[in-house]
Amino acid sequence: MDWFESVKGNVKKTTEKAVAKSNELLEATKLRFSVNEVESQIDELAKQLGEKLYSDYKAGVEVNEEYLIYCRDMDNKNAALALLNDQIAKTKNVKKCAKCGKENALEANYCISCGEKME
């Protein structure tokens, strides 16, 4: 093999290696993308499962003792959220109607939206 053929051969091998490497990278990227996609589907299913369980619990369906901890924790978080939203309403000088959720002036005696007596 003369010098030129040898160089040509090396260039060809290098190019083939680069193409193979690039295909590997592309394949790895595709796989990572698929992994991310399936992981987010799993997360979404877990979320739906939790929401279904909690809505069953709220509807009075008997829930396994193990899951009650999570449901009661969720009750506590919802209560905390309601308190925080009340505090936000107070900083805005409004109070929310317990019946319809409409924001009313702090001094309002009746809801401007539904007429409910305000506390």
How many residues sit in the footprint of Zn ion (CB under 5 A)? 8
Smallest distance from the beta carbon of 92 to Zn ion, in angstroms? 17
Give the span between the Cα atoms of 63 and 70, in whole angstroms.
11
Q: Is the dihedral of CA 113, 115, 116, 119 positive or negative?
A: positive
Interface characters, 87-106, with Zn ion (x: CB under 5 A): ----------x-xx-x----
Closer residue to Zn ion, CB minimum distance, 84 or 100: 100
Alpha carbon 56 to its chain centroid, in Å, reads 21
How, if at all, do strands 94-96 and 103-105 pair?
A: antiparallel
**Position of tokens 């805005």?**
92
Interface with Zn ion by CB under 5 A: which range of 16-24, 49-57, 70-78, 111-119? 111-119
Q: Is residue 114 a contact point for Zn ion (CB under 5 A)?
A: yes
Residues that bind Zn ion in the complex, under the rule CB under 5 A: 97, 99-100, 102, 111, 113-114, 116
